[in-house]
Protein backbone atom coordinates (compact mmCIF):
# COMPACT_ATOMS: atom_id res chain seq x y z
CA UNK A 1 0.00 0.00 0.00
CA UNK A 2 1.13 3.57 -0.65
CA UNK A 3 1.12 6.29 1.98
CA UNK A 4 -2.29 7.66 0.89
CA UNK A 5 -3.87 4.22 1.39
CA UNK A 6 -2.17 4.04 4.76
CA UNK A 7 -3.82 7.35 5.64
CA UNK A 8 -7.24 5.86 4.92
CA UNK A 9 -6.38 2.89 7.13
CA UNK A 10 -5.29 5.24 9.91
CA UNK A 11 -8.68 6.93 9.82
CA UNK A 12 -10.39 3.63 10.59
CA UNK A 13 -8.15 2.34 13.39
CA UNK A 14 -10.37 4.12 15.90
CA UNK A 15 -13.53 5.32 14.21
CA UNK A 16 -14.29 8.09 16.70
CA UNK A 17 -10.72 9.42 16.39
CA UNK A 18 -10.58 9.80 12.62
CA UNK A 19 -8.98 13.25 12.61
CA UNK A 20 -6.45 12.48 15.36
CA UNK A 21 -5.20 9.21 13.88
CA UNK A 22 -5.02 10.64 10.36
CA UNK A 23 -3.20 13.72 11.66
CA UNK A 24 -0.61 11.65 13.56
CA UNK A 25 0.12 9.58 10.45
CA UNK A 26 0.21 12.64 8.16
CA UNK A 27 2.63 14.42 10.49
CA UNK A 28 4.94 11.41 10.48
CA UNK A 29 5.03 11.40 6.67
CA UNK A 30 5.41 15.19 6.51
CA UNK A 31 8.40 15.03 8.86
CA UNK A 32 10.03 12.46 6.58
CA UNK A 33 9.49 14.69 3.54
CA UNK A 34 10.55 17.88 5.30
CA UNK A 35 7.11 19.21 4.42
CA UNK A 36 5.71 22.30 6.17
CA UNK A 37 1.96 22.76 5.82
CA UNK A 38 0.46 26.22 5.39
CA UNK A 39 -0.54 28.34 8.39
CA UNK A 40 -4.20 28.18 7.37
CA UNK A 41 -4.05 24.38 7.26
CA UNK A 42 -2.48 24.30 10.73
CA UNK A 43 -5.36 26.31 12.19
CA UNK A 44 -7.97 24.25 10.33
CA UNK A 45 -6.38 21.09 11.72
CA UNK A 46 -6.90 22.52 15.21
CA UNK A 47 -10.54 23.30 14.46
CA UNK A 48 -11.29 19.80 13.17
CA UNK A 49 -9.35 18.04 15.94
CA UNK A 50 -11.07 20.03 18.68
CA UNK A 51 -14.50 19.42 17.17
CA UNK A 52 -13.72 15.71 17.37
CA UNK A 53 -12.70 16.11 21.03
CA UNK A 54 -15.86 18.06 21.92
CA UNK A 55 -18.18 15.52 20.29
CA UNK A 56 -16.61 12.57 22.07
CA UNK A 57 -16.33 14.20 25.47
CA UNK A 58 -19.98 15.27 25.31
CA UNK A 59 -20.89 11.67 24.54
CA UNK A 60 -18.82 10.31 27.45
CA UNK A 61 -20.10 12.87 29.95
CA UNK A 62 -23.66 12.02 28.98
CA UNK A 63 -23.09 8.27 29.28
CA UNK A 64 -21.37 8.58 32.68
CA UNK A 65 -24.44 10.40 33.93
CA UNK A 66 -26.78 7.93 32.27
CA UNK A 67 -24.98 5.02 33.93
CA UNK A 68 -25.84 6.54 37.30
CA UNK A 69 -29.52 6.64 36.19
CA UNK A 70 -29.31 10.43 35.78
CA UNK A 71 -31.26 10.30 32.53
CA UNK A 72 -31.38 14.06 32.07
CA UNK A 73 -27.61 14.25 31.71
CA UNK A 74 -27.48 11.23 29.43
CA UNK A 75 -30.12 12.57 27.07
CA UNK A 76 -28.52 15.98 26.80
CA UNK A 77 -25.02 14.58 26.30
CA UNK A 78 -26.26 12.68 23.28
CA UNK A 79 -28.24 15.65 22.00
CA UNK A 80 -25.29 18.04 22.21
CA UNK A 81 -22.93 15.52 20.62
CA UNK A 82 -25.32 15.19 17.70
CA UNK A 83 -25.26 18.95 17.20
CA UNK A 84 -21.46 18.86 16.88
CA UNK A 85 -21.60 15.85 14.54
CA UNK A 86 -24.02 17.70 12.27
CA UNK A 87 -21.70 20.71 12.21
CA UNK A 88 -18.83 18.39 11.23
CA UNK A 89 -20.87 16.90 8.42
CA UNK A 90 -21.84 20.33 7.12
CA UNK A 91 -18.20 21.44 7.04
CA UNK A 92 -16.57 18.28 5.67
CA UNK A 93 -19.30 16.04 4.25
CA UNK A 94 -18.60 13.43 6.94
CA UNK A 95 -19.90 13.20 10.50
CA UNK A 96 -16.53 11.76 11.55
CA UNK A 97 -14.64 14.17 9.25
CA UNK A 98 -13.11 11.38 7.21
CA UNK A 99 -10.80 12.32 4.31
CA UNK A 100 -10.40 15.78 5.85
CA UNK A 101 -6.76 15.51 6.96
CA UNK A 102 -4.41 14.86 4.04
CA UNK A 103 -0.65 14.70 3.72
CA UNK A 104 0.31 18.33 3.22
CA UNK A 105 -2.67 19.95 4.94
CA UNK A 106 -6.44 19.49 4.82
CA UNK A 107 -8.87 18.76 2.02
CA UNK A 108 -11.69 21.01 3.23
CA UNK A 109 -11.44 24.77 3.64
CA UNK A 110 -14.12 26.65 5.59
CA UNK A 111 -15.82 29.69 4.10
CA UNK A 112 -16.21 32.93 6.07
CA UNK A 113 -19.95 32.32 6.32
CA UNK A 114 -19.46 28.80 7.68
CA UNK A 115 -16.79 30.01 10.12
CA UNK A 116 -19.19 32.61 11.46
CA UNK A 117 -21.94 30.02 11.78
CA UNK A 118 -19.59 27.55 13.48
CA UNK A 119 -18.56 30.14 16.07
CA UNK A 120 -22.19 31.03 16.76
CA UNK A 121 -23.33 27.41 17.02
CA UNK A 122 -20.48 26.54 19.37
CA UNK A 123 -21.39 29.48 21.58
CA UNK A 124 -24.96 28.18 21.75
CA UNK A 125 -23.74 24.66 22.51
CA UNK A 126 -21.50 26.01 25.27
CA UNK A 127 -24.38 27.92 26.89
CA UNK A 128 -26.59 24.84 26.63
CA UNK A 129 -23.86 22.56 28.01
CA UNK A 130 -23.20 24.94 30.89
CA UNK A 131 -26.86 24.78 31.88
CA UNK A 132 -26.78 20.97 31.82
CA UNK A 133 -23.69 20.90 34.05
CA UNK A 134 -25.25 23.35 36.52
CA UNK A 135 -28.27 21.08 36.87
CA UNK A 136 -26.07 17.98 37.14
CA UNK A 137 -24.05 19.59 39.94
CA UNK A 138 -27.22 19.75 42.03
CA UNK A 139 -27.79 15.99 41.79
CA UNK A 140 -26.70 14.39 45.06
CA UNK A 141 -27.18 10.87 43.69
CA UNK A 142 -24.91 11.60 40.71
CA UNK A 143 -22.17 12.88 43.01
CA UNK A 144 -22.51 9.88 45.32
CA UNK A 145 -22.07 7.45 42.43
CA UNK A 146 -19.01 9.06 40.83
CA UNK A 147 -17.04 10.40 43.79
CA UNK A 148 -14.48 7.92 45.24
CA UNK A 149 -15.52 5.39 42.58
CA UNK A 150 -12.92 3.71 40.36
CA UNK A 151 -9.91 5.42 41.90
CA UNK A 152 -6.60 5.07 40.09
CA UNK A 153 -3.41 5.38 42.09
CA UNK A 154 -0.76 7.70 40.70
CA UNK A 155 2.00 5.12 41.04
CA UNK A 156 0.00 2.53 39.10
CA UNK A 157 -0.66 5.14 36.40
CA UNK A 158 3.07 5.80 36.16
CA UNK A 159 3.94 2.09 36.14
CA UNK A 160 1.60 1.41 33.21
CA UNK A 161 2.33 4.63 31.32
CA UNK A 162 -1.26 5.85 31.51
CA UNK A 163 -1.96 8.85 29.26
CA UNK A 164 -4.66 11.38 28.54
CA UNK A 165 -7.70 12.07 30.71
CA UNK A 166 -6.97 9.41 33.39
CA UNK A 167 -3.48 10.84 33.92
CA UNK A 168 -4.67 14.46 33.99
CA UNK A 169 -7.31 13.39 36.54
CA UNK A 170 -4.35 12.58 38.81
CA UNK A 171 -2.92 16.07 38.55
CA UNK A 172 -0.37 15.43 35.79
CA UNK A 173 -0.68 18.17 33.16
CA UNK A 174 0.69 16.12 30.27
CA UNK A 175 -0.79 16.99 26.89
CA UNK A 176 0.81 16.58 23.45
CA UNK A 177 -0.84 19.80 22.30
CA UNK A 178 1.41 21.62 24.79
CA UNK A 179 4.38 19.25 25.01
CA UNK A 180 4.90 18.93 21.25
CA UNK A 181 2.91 21.93 20.00
CA UNK A 182 1.92 20.59 16.57
CA UNK A 183 -0.47 22.28 14.10
CA UNK A 184 -1.24 25.81 15.41
CA UNK A 185 -1.38 24.99 19.12
CA UNK A 186 1.79 26.93 19.92
CA UNK A 187 -0.01 30.10 18.78
CA UNK A 188 -3.14 29.47 20.82
CA UNK A 189 -3.31 30.17 24.54
CA UNK A 190 -4.91 27.45 26.68
CA UNK A 191 -4.40 25.62 29.94
CA UNK A 192 -4.31 21.86 30.45
CA UNK A 193 -7.28 20.78 32.57
CA UNK A 194 -6.45 18.66 35.60
CA UNK A 195 -7.94 17.24 38.78
CA UNK A 196 -6.18 15.29 41.51
CA UNK A 197 -8.68 12.79 42.94
CA UNK A 198 -8.18 10.10 40.26
CA UNK A 199 -11.75 8.78 40.49
CA UNK A 200 -14.67 8.68 38.03
CA UNK A 201 -15.72 12.16 39.15
CA UNK A 202 -12.25 13.57 38.44
CA UNK A 203 -12.12 12.00 34.99
CA UNK A 204 -15.62 13.30 34.22
CA UNK A 205 -14.66 16.82 35.33
CA UNK A 206 -11.49 16.78 33.24
CA UNK A 207 -13.69 15.97 30.25
CA UNK A 208 -16.07 18.78 31.21
CA UNK A 209 -13.20 21.29 31.49
CA UNK A 210 -11.82 20.10 28.16
CA UNK A 211 -15.14 20.74 26.42
CA UNK A 212 -14.93 24.38 27.47
CA UNK A 213 -11.23 24.55 26.52
CA UNK A 214 -11.84 22.99 23.10
CA UNK A 215 -14.68 25.36 22.28
CA UNK A 216 -12.48 28.30 23.28
CA UNK A 217 -9.64 26.93 21.12
CA UNK A 218 -11.90 26.58 18.08
CA UNK A 219 -13.26 30.08 18.44
CA UNK A 220 -9.74 31.49 18.91
CA UNK A 221 -8.55 29.58 15.84
CA UNK A 222 -11.43 31.04 13.84
CA UNK A 223 -10.54 34.58 14.95
CA UNK A 224 -6.84 34.11 14.12
CA UNK A 225 -7.30 32.03 10.97
CA UNK A 226 -4.91 33.38 8.31
CA UNK A 227 -5.66 33.59 4.61
CA UNK A 228 -4.03 31.32 2.08
CA UNK A 229 -4.09 27.78 0.67
CA UNK A 230 -5.07 24.81 2.81
CA UNK A 231 -2.56 22.32 1.44
CA UNK A 232 0.82 21.97 -0.23
CA UNK A 233 1.83 19.30 -2.69
CA UNK A 234 3.47 16.32 -1.07
CA UNK A 235 6.33 14.59 -2.87
CA UNK A 236 5.39 11.18 -4.15
CA UNK A 237 8.58 9.48 -3.07
CA UNK A 238 10.01 9.02 0.40
CA UNK A 239 13.68 8.76 1.26
CA UNK A 240 15.13 5.28 1.67
CA UNK A 241 15.73 3.92 5.16
CA UNK A 242 13.98 6.89 6.72
CA UNK A 243 11.90 7.19 9.88
CA UNK A 244 9.17 9.66 10.87
CA UNK A 245 7.19 10.19 14.07
CA UNK A 246 3.80 11.81 14.52
CA UNK A 247 2.29 12.61 17.93
CA UNK A 248 -1.23 13.97 18.43
CA UNK A 249 -3.32 14.45 21.57
CA UNK A 250 -6.44 12.47 20.75
CA UNK A 251 -9.46 12.82 22.99
CA UNK A 252 -8.52 9.66 24.94
CA UNK A 253 -4.84 10.59 25.15
CA UNK A 254 -1.79 10.92 22.95
CA UNK A 255 -1.63 8.92 19.71
CA UNK A 256 1.81 8.02 18.36
CA UNK A 257 2.76 6.86 14.84
CA UNK A 258 6.21 5.69 13.80
CA UNK A 259 6.69 5.20 10.04
CA UNK A 260 9.74 3.55 8.47
CA UNK A 261 10.76 3.06 4.85
CA UNK A 262 12.81 0.31 3.24
CA UNK A 263 15.84 0.55 0.95
CA UNK A 264 13.55 1.50 -1.95
CA UNK A 265 11.78 4.34 -0.13
CA UNK A 266 8.57 2.37 0.32
CA UNK A 267 6.71 2.34 3.63
CA UNK A 268 7.79 -0.90 5.29
CA UNK A 269 6.53 -0.43 8.82
CA UNK A 270 3.84 1.63 10.54
CA UNK A 271 3.76 1.28 14.30
CA UNK A 272 0.60 2.71 15.89
CA UNK A 273 0.22 3.37 19.60
CA UNK A 274 -3.34 4.30 20.48
CA UNK A 275 -3.85 5.57 24.07
CA UNK A 276 -6.06 2.58 24.86
CA UNK A 277 -3.07 0.25 24.39
CA UNK A 278 -1.67 1.76 27.59
CA UNK A 279 -4.75 2.74 29.54
CA UNK A 280 -6.55 -0.60 29.32
CA UNK A 281 -3.59 -2.29 31.02
CA UNK A 282 -4.19 -0.21 34.13
CA UNK A 283 -7.97 -0.51 34.03
CA UNK A 284 -8.25 -3.73 36.12
CA UNK A 285 -6.73 -1.82 39.05
CA UNK A 286 -9.55 0.73 38.78
CA UNK A 287 -12.44 -1.75 39.01
CA UNK A 288 -10.85 -4.00 41.63
CA UNK A 289 -13.06 -4.02 44.71
CA UNK A 290 -15.84 -2.00 43.06
CA UNK A 291 -19.42 -3.23 42.81
CA UNK A 292 -20.57 -4.54 39.43
CA UNK A 293 -22.91 -1.57 38.67
CA UNK A 294 -19.90 0.75 38.88
CA UNK A 295 -18.09 -1.00 36.02
CA UNK A 296 -19.89 1.06 33.31
CA UNK A 297 -18.93 4.29 35.12
CA UNK A 298 -15.28 3.31 35.29
CA UNK A 299 -15.36 2.09 31.69
CA UNK A 300 -16.89 5.23 30.24
CA UNK A 301 -14.68 7.53 32.32
CA UNK A 302 -11.67 5.88 30.60
CA UNK A 303 -13.42 4.94 27.35
Output the pLDDT for position 5: 84
pLDDT, one tens digit per residue, over 228-271 is 999 998 877 889 999 999 999 999 999 999 999 999 999 999 99
In the sheet that holds 243-249, the strands lie side by side as 243-249, 254-261, 267-273
pLDDT, one tens digit per residue, over 182-220 is 999 999 999 999 999 999 999 999 999 999 999 999 999
pLDDT tier at 302, thresholds 50, 70, 90: very high
- pLDDT above 60 for 1: no
Q: Average pLDDT, stretch 152-173?
A: 98
Amino acid sequence: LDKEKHLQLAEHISGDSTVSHALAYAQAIESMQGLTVTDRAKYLRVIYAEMERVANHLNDIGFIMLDTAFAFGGANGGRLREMVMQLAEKLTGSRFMRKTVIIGGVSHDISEEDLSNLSLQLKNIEVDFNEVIKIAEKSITLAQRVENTGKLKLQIAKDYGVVGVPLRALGVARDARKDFAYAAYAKLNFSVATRTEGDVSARMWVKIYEVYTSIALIRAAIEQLPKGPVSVAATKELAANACGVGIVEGWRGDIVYVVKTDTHGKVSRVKVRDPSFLNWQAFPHVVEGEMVPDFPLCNKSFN
